Amino acid sequence: MTSGDLFITCLEQFQVDKDGIYDYINALIMTDSSGLLVVTDEHIGIITKDIEKICNENDFPLILIKDDLPYAVIMDTVNQYIAIENLNVINTLKLDKIMYGSISNNEKMEILHSIKPNIAQYVRTIYVDGEFNSEIAELKAHTSYLNNVSDIFVRNNNYKVFILSADNSKKLKHHSDAAAAQIKEFVNNPRVGFSRIYTRRDIGKALEEGKCSLETAKTMNMDFQEYDPLSVMQLLVSVRDTQEAQDFYEAYVNAVKEKVSGENLREVLLTMETYVANSGDYKVTAKVMSQHENTIRYRVNKVKCALNMENDNIKFNETIAIAVKLRILMNKTL
């Protein structure tokens, strides 16, 4: 037996020696088999609760199938899943090479055409995070896109990638809107990121933007996010895990700490968050926080002084806005 092998049985060999099923299951687990298909109605009692427990404890797939299905149908279905999984692995590697490989645009086009030879002139990517409603829904999605002459669907362990194409940008916009509606139907609680529309020569940009938009959607707990080059939050998503981002936020908090007592620090930082959320409107901030407007002005001026920005309102507003957004992105407590 080889690691990854899939086995199928009707359990007749255990009709006399029912305890032999334990040795059989353990042998499959020890050799890292990918699973066991049990096709039977008559001998189903051989699969006891103890056997199910052993399989569950070892994350070993045990699939029970009624014996009215022909073996040919079962194996054809299994082969479809294997073929799809292999294709996903291969196409994921190809997309990674387009995104991260040091290759020319012509080479990127060759890779793209190796996945879908008839991909159209304009492309847009949709990155999706979320689980399919069912195995059947996933199989239908794969089958649909395999039969589609101009669109691509690739699934990896982290997300699902749809590469849509059309002969012009207007058609592609309608096409991507329809695809997004379909995604909501067959994926549970999806988070979705869209790239902008590009010619297919810029497929690398489209892939990068779709992925970035998905990360922004997940971070901000949004259902859908279209790539926006002017989005500060989207820009910060790409740097949130860097040391520079950590240093920026810590420097902001430490500067405020030096001017504010420990017992008031959280309240002052919360005031700044509310001030930013309300576009620097003192009156609205005061109302939201149930404070006098002068109290809000005092706290804001205190932070201005702490940051040494009393005479530079533009820099001050920029700094606190970035600090507030970084705190959200880095999931830090106040």
This prediction's pTM:
0.75
Sorted by where each begins, the domain ranges of the chain are 6-68, 79-231, 243-330
The phi and psi torsions of 31 (rounded to 5 degrees) equal -90, 10
Q: Do 323 and 248 form a contact (C-beta atoms < 8 A)?
A: yes
pLDDT in tens, 183-200: 999 999 999 999 999 999
Q: Which residues of 263-281 are buried (b: 16+ CB within 10 A; e: fewer)?
A: eeeeebbebbbbbbebeee
Topology classification of domain 79-231: Alpha-Beta Plaits (3.30.70)
CA distances 64 to 24, 52, 78, 165, Å, are 16, 11, 14, 41
Q: Does position 251 have pLDDT exceeding 90, yes or no?
A: yes
Percent of the chain scored above 70 by pLDDT? 100
The phi and psi torsions of 297 (rounded to 5 degrees) equal -60, -40
Q: Does position 274 have pLDDT exceeding 80, yes or no?
A: yes
In CATH, the architecture of 243-330 is: Orthogonal Bundle (1.10)
Between CA 75 and CA 84, with CA 79 as vertex, the angle to 5 degrees is 155
pLDDT in tens, 210-241: 999 999 999 888 999 999 999 998 999 989 99
User: What is the average per-residue pLDDT within 148-160?
Assistant: 94
Within 8 A by CB and 6+ apart from 236, the residues are 245, 322, 325, 326, 329
User: What is the average per-residue pLDDT within 165-173?
Assistant: 97
Q: Do 227 and 196 form a contact (C-beta atoms < 8 A)?
A: yes
For residues 189 and 123, give the distance between their C-alpha atoms in angstroms, rounded to a whole number. Answer: 25
Q: Does position 1 have pLDDT exceeding 80, yes or no?
A: no
Residue 291 Cα to chain centre, angstroms: 40
CA torsion sign for 300, 237, 130, 332 is negative
Q: SS3 of 6, please?
A: strand
E-state strands within the chain: 6-9, 35-39, 62-65, 122-129, 152-155, 160-166, 191-194, 198-199, 224-226
Q: Does position 289 have pLDDT exceeding 90, yes or no?
A: yes
Beta bridge partners, 192, equal 128, 224
Between CA 4 and CA 120, with CA 132 as vertex, the angle to 5 degrees is 95
The phi and psi torsions of 144 (rounded to 5 degrees) equal -60, -45
User: What is the average per-residue pLDDT within 300-322?
Assistant: 96
User: What is the average per-residue pLDDT within 290-310?
Assistant: 96
